[in-house]
Amino acid sequence: MLTIKSAEEIEILRENAILVSKTLAVVGKEVAPGVTTAHLNKVAEEYIRDNGAVPGFLNYEGYPYTLCVSVNDVVVHGFPSKYELKEGDIVSVDCGTIYKGFTGDSAYTFPVGEVSPEVAGLLRTTEESLNRGAAAARVGNRIGDIGYAVQSYCEQAGYSVVRDLVGHGIGKRMHEDPMVPNYGHAGRGKKLVSGMVICIEPMINMGKKDVYVERNGWGIRTRDGKCSAHFEYMVAILDQGPQILTTYDYIQNKKNL
């Protein structure tokens, strides 16, 4: 059931979004060749707890870690492990929090050292598609307008959009209505109204859109083994326009933590 948030609730969701943003930045500082993905998970859990919150993913529907850490052809839900990052890898870090009774959820895909021009293009395109999707999250528009903005931009650039996984509403629970696909037709789907808070999260593949589930029941990989990128914002839909609660400034502009 769709829940409309008050101004006070949106401010608490913003606090969660900023804490997740800072956690991603702290983790990003550790991303380098030779670093294990388990180390990234440890850094994130310590930072979240040190800031008075609880990891939102840990034990969520049985998920056993603080972070989803997805390397190269892993689209989402990768388990932290002893895997050591290598030069040229990309690593998607998806993070959640629980703070003041509400949740936070955002993701960022980091390059490990120097990546190929083709992979760098995938990262740029995926992030820009997120910005375009967020810009379409306006009162009176429909869910399909968000998906169309993401899909049309990425497919024109030669990439494919994962169909099996979607964005979602967020509030006291990590996943709420509505579902927010990264594909769709403009003007179709649920109407966007003031007070909705959603997570828009393009998952974009360098190759084909087809994916499969790993034996652990969590990790989602591209079927053709090509790289996938994942970026995610929390967005409040307000009368004055979409308000992105997540910020990448701590990562990209080295804003002080």
What CATH code is carried by the domain that includes residue 36? 3.90.230.10
Q: pLDDT tens digits, residue range 89-133?
A: 999 999 999 999 999 999 999 999 999 999 999 999 999 999 999
What distance in Å separates the CA atoms of residue 42 and residue 37, rounded to the nearest whole number? Answer: 9
Output the CA–CA distances (angstroms, integers) from residue 59 to 22, 27, 96, in the order listed: 22, 20, 12
In a domain? residue 159: yes
The per-residue pLDDT for 161 is 98
In a domain? residue 109: yes
Q: pLDDT tens digits, residue range 7-45?
A: 999 999 999 999 999 999 999 999 999 999 999 999 999
From the list 74, 68, 93, 94, the residue with the least C-alpha distance to 221 is 74
In a domain? residue 157: yes
In a domain? residue 257: no
Q: Is residue 227 within 8 Å of residue 73, measured between CB atoms?
A: yes
In a domain? residue 2: no
Q: How many domains does the chain have?
A: 1
Q: How many CB atoms lie within 10 A of CB 146?
A: 31
Q: pLDDT tens digits, residue range 53-81?
A: 999 999 999 999 999 999 999 999 999 99
Say which residues have a Cβ less than 8 Å from residue 231's Cβ, sequence separation at least 6.
Answer: 107, 108, 109, 126, 127, 130, 201, 202
The per-residue pLDDT for 256 is 87
The per-residue pLDDT for 257 is 84
In a domain? residue 1: no
Domain assignment of residue 123, given as a range: 7-252
The torsion defined by the Cα of 222, 29, 103 and 124, in degrees rounded to 10, comes to: -50
**pTM for the structure as a whole:** 0.97
In a domain? residue 63: yes
pLDDT at position 250 over 90? yes
Q: pLDDT tens digits, residue range 143-186?
A: 999 999 999 999 999 999 999 999 999 999 999 999 999 999 99
From the list 171, 238, 163, 230, the residue with the least C-alpha distance to 200 is 230
Helix, strand, coil percentages (3-state) for the chain, rounded to 5, are 30, 30, 40
In a domain? residue 243: yes
